[in-house]
Amino acid sequence: MAHSKRTNRTIAMSIAALAVLAVAAPGASAASTVECVGFAPGAAPADCTTLHDASALQAALLAAKDADADIVRIAPGTYDGSFSAVGNASDRIVGSGIDQTLLRNATPGGSTALTLLGAAGQEVVASELSVERTGATSTHFTVDATYAILDHVRVRVNAGMEQGRGVQAANAIMSHSIIETAGTASHGVYASNGDVLVEDSTIIPLAPSSVGVYLSSVSNTATVRRTRIGDPTGANAFGLGIGTDGGHILVEDSLIDLGASVGATGVSAYNSNAGSATAIAGDVLRTTVVGTGSNQRAIRVGTAGPAQMTTMQISDSVIDVGASAYAVECRWPMGGSTPTLAMTRVAIAGTFTSWFQPCVFTTTDNIDLGATAPTTRFVDPVLHDYRPLPGGVLIDAGDATFVATTGDVLGAARVVDGDDDGVARLDLGAYEFAVVTAPEPVTGTGPVTPVIPVNPVTPETPQDTIRPTLSVAGPTNALPFLRTGKLAFAFAKARERRAIRLTVSEDSAVTITVARKFGRKYVIVKGRQAMQLKAGTRRIGWAGKWQGAVLPIGTYRITVVAQDAAGNISAPRSLVLRLAPAAK
């Protein structure tokens, strides 16, 4: 890859950041001092060196600047003002929780809410707090982060900040964080003059023309990894998920959900200034770009002048924007240099378009989704659940040689045998299908509930965002299910009847789908069954009949998904069963 040096530099920065965070935990620090702000006497953490009133937060930050490797701990509450932390030895600012400690600047004007200024190898770390910039202001920042790390932080660009920036970043990392952009044409993360890494985070564009992550630095790389960008409600138009007008963007294991935003773009590598001499590059790996709005562009690549060079590689990904939008838009004017785009093992729904001159795309082993409905490949696109549907074309269709070093967008393990053919292979897109057959409970202990990976970021609070847990188990012996040919489940003979046991952690609406195995693939059987289940275990008798018809002899996968009253959806749980002829 032409940009391996930049990519490796970003990875090295991530490793160094983990080392910084590893010593930031209470009780494990080698800090010279621990400045504690806003705690009542007797209620302060045990490691506090100095107690400060709530009004003295900036004074505590200045005190930390004067010592080595200091920590500033902040009590729950709202702290108004413009705060800055200039570190000289990996100083750390630790709130009491993302929903407990809020730093807010409500003063009109150009000042930020929080400025973090560290140095190479001495990054300033902020964690477990929220930061907001309110008031009538524009083109300014909520957080200005240089050689800094934001870990478990919520940043909000409020409605008054037109063209504002949530995080103005240079040599910075955002991890396990939430960034909301409510200002028109605002940016969640704007990267300039240094490498930037956004990982395990959620960016929610909440205003027209707003942008998730943007890089404008010719010699640097912005890496977006295991991150979700989009407005799940679909109520707000936004402009761009990830883009660059100079530099290298690397997108891995991420979801960009354009929703119904008209004219929105997923990933863009393009500079409209014909006079600029820039090298622009993009790598989109194991990523899902979806949308339902008209005139959308999942991918935009192009050049505007002869001195520009733009390249993009997309692999093991899903582009699904439908027939009324563009999977790829290429812009190549007369006299401009030729942009290049290579697509390998990409599932595509959408058209290709070129401006000015026809572009040539290199395509290898791609899947044309054609006019098939998203419901044939995603668990529930209506609810913005873009996990691969059991038995669908996205499962085990990726790189057969891929060796996983990281998880999918939810943190789940990559590369499993999703189609039950005995060979584990990468799935296409941001999500890896989890094949889970729950083990039989030991007598007297009750059913076993598998551990379900969840995104470490909670989009909204205090609403319920906890997913229901679900397990599914089959018969208590090794006999196959016996097809009876009877009219209904309840009428099967007792000796031929088998039970599926479903266990849910809370009251949920449960949806069941059935897929039949043909060779290496499972094909969905038409229809689905829905039922309401109370928390606990329910036995469902099943004798090989589905949607009023007797199923043929063969192997089937039963897949179950639970959704609670708040709309949270469990990970799918599956059970593979074999239907055999009834005993005579």
Which of residues 434, 462, 493 is at a domain's end? Answer: 434
The answer to whether residues 33 and 18 belong to one domain is yes
Evaluate whether 521 touches 419 at the Cβ level (below 8 Å). yes
The answer to whether residues 405 and 464 belong to one domain is no
Please give the average per-residue pLDDT across 22-30, as a whole number: 41
The answer to whether residues 202 and 274 belong to one domain is no
DSSP characters over 526-574: S--EEEEE-SEEEEEEE-SEETTEEPPSEEEEEEEEEEETT--BPPPEE
Beta strands in 258-402 (DSSP E): 265-269, 279-285, 288-290, 297-302, 309-320, 326-332, 340-349, 351-356, 361-364, 367-368, 378-380, 385-388
Evaluate whether 386 touches 378 at the Cβ level (below 8 Å). yes
Domain CATH code at residue 500? 2.60.40.2550
The answer to whether residues 157 and 59 belong to one domain is yes
The answer to whether residues 231 and 283 belong to one domain is no
Distance CA 274, CA 191 (A): 22
* Digit-coded pLDDT (tens) for 544-568: 777 777 788 788 888 888 888 887 7
Residue 456: pLDDT band with limits 50, 70, 90: very low
The answer to whether residues 26 and 9 belong to one domain is yes
Residues 513, 519, 521, 526: is their CA dihedral positive or negative? negative
Evaluate whether 308 touches 338 at the Cβ level (below 8 Å). no
Task: Name 56's Cβ contacts closer than 8 Å, sequence gap at least 6.
Answer: 37
For residue 122, what are the β-bridge partners? 119
Domain CATH code at residue 112? 2.160.20
Residue 487: pLDDT band with limits 50, 70, 90: very low
Q: Which of 373, 355, 315 is nearest to 524 (CA)?
A: 373
Other Cβ atoms closer than 10 A to 42: 5
Torsion of CA 528, 533, 536, 537, to 10 degrees: -40
**Single-letter residue type at 76:** P
Evaluate whether 135 touches 101 at the Cβ level (below 8 Å). no
Distance CA 79, CA 101 (A): 8
Residues 143, 249, 160, 232: is their CA dihedral positive or negative? negative
The answer to whether residues 144 and 210 belong to one domain is yes
CA distances from 449 to 233, 320, 338, 445, 472 (A): 30, 33, 54, 11, 9
The answer to whether residues 5 and 154 belong to one domain is yes
Per-residue pLDDT, 484: 38
* Digit-coded pLDDT (tens) for 230-284: 876 656 668 899 999 888 999 999 999 998 888 899 999 988 776 676 778 899 9
The answer to whether residues 103 and 245 belong to one domain is yes
Distance CA 227, CA 252 (A): 8
Distance CA 359, CA 335 (A): 14
CA distances from 18 to 69, 195, 206, 225 (A): 15, 16, 31, 15
The answer to whether residues 573 and 556 belong to one domain is yes
Q: Which of 8, 5, 52, 45 is nearest to 29 (CA)?
A: 45
Distance CA 9, CA 32 (A): 30
Per-residue pLDDT, 19: 41
* Digit-coded pLDDT (tens) for 364-386: 999 999 888 898 899 888 888 89
Distance CA 99, CA 101 (A): 6
Per-residue pLDDT, 372: 85
More confident residue, 432 or 2: 432
The answer to whether residues 88 and 144 belong to one domain is yes
Please give the average per-residue pLDDT across 192-206, as a whole number: 91
Of 37-46, 135-144, 150-159, which gets the smallest average pLDDT? 135-144
* Digit-coded pLDDT (tens) for 285-333: 999 999 988 889 999 998 877 777 888 999 999 999 987 789 998 887 7
452: pLDDT strictly greater than 50: no
Count: domains in the chain: 3
Tabulate helix, strand, coil % of the chain (nearest 5). 5, 45, 50
Per-residue pLDDT, 30: 46
572: pLDDT strictly greater than 60: yes
Structural domain for 481, as ranges: 436-581
Which of residues 417, 434, 451 is at a domain's end? Answer: 434
Evaluate whether 84 touches 58 at the Cβ level (below 8 Å). yes
pTM of the model: 0.72
Evaluate whether 305 touches 335 at the Cβ level (below 8 Å). yes
Task: Name 19's Cβ contacts closer than 8 Å, sequence gap at least 6.
Answer: none
For residue 101, what are the β-bridge partners? 77
Q: Which of 394, 398, 387, 409 is nearest to 572 (CA)?
A: 387
Of 70-84, 146-160, 556-570, which gets the smallest average pLDDT? 556-570
Evaluate whether 579 touches 554 at the Cβ level (below 8 Å). yes
Per-residue pLDDT, 145: 94
120: pLDDT strictly greater than 50: yes
Which of residues 384, 411, 434 is at a domain's end? Answer: 434
The answer to whether residues 17 and 157 belong to one domain is yes
DSSP tag of 316 = E
494: pLDDT strictly greater than 50: no
Residue with tokens 């930390």: 64
Distance CA 558, CA 572 (A): 10
